[in-house]
Amino acid sequence: MFLDRIAVLSHYDRVIRSPGQELRLPSVVALKQYVPQERRPPFTRFNLFLRDRFSCQYCGITAPIQELTFDHVVPRSRGGRTSWDNITTACTRCNLRKGSRLPRECGMHPLSRPQQPSTHQLRQNGRQFPPGYLHESWRDFLYWDSELEP
């Protein structure tokens, strides 16, 4: 906002204050200049949880983001890498239970094979957020390419 690179389309009700300024917190922004999308999505904690639909890949529970962590399927202590193909979403309980063991050693196999998602897959998963998770102000700007109800 300060560099004038975005246009604020909608705001949250929350206000952010500093000693010399008060700003309404933006909820939806639009870039003023096109930024080409990366072919592959960046490997981030949020994208990992989004790929796995915010559910533990060992027990299947869907949990709030604060209760999720990520697990190295092949532990780093056993030569496992931190990559899309070796990291999966886990609840803290399952992550502690698995520890630094291989899936076959503890009988805990991921429900889906970890792999690098496409940008399209992440977008699709993002559209399936449970109701109430997304702020109301986002509704007019999401789902624009989905089928309309009769």
Task: Spell out the residues 6+ positions from residue 103 whose beta carbon is closer than 8 angstroms to its own.
Answer: 73, 109, 110
- The answer to whether 89 and 49 have CB atoms below 8 angstroms apart is yes
Structure confidence at residue 52 (pLDDT): 96
pLDDT tens by residue, 96-115: 999 999 999 999 999 999 99
Beta bridge partners of 10: 28
- Region 18-40 average pLDDT: 86
User: 113-150 pLDDT, tens per residue?
Assistant: 999 999 889 988 887 766 556 677 776 776 544 444 44
Task: State the pLDDT at residue 134.
Answer: 66
Q: Which residue has the higher pLDDT, 14 or 129?
A: 14
Could you give all domains of the chain from N- to C-terminal order, each with its CATH number?
1-35 (no CATH), 45-106 (1.10.30.50)
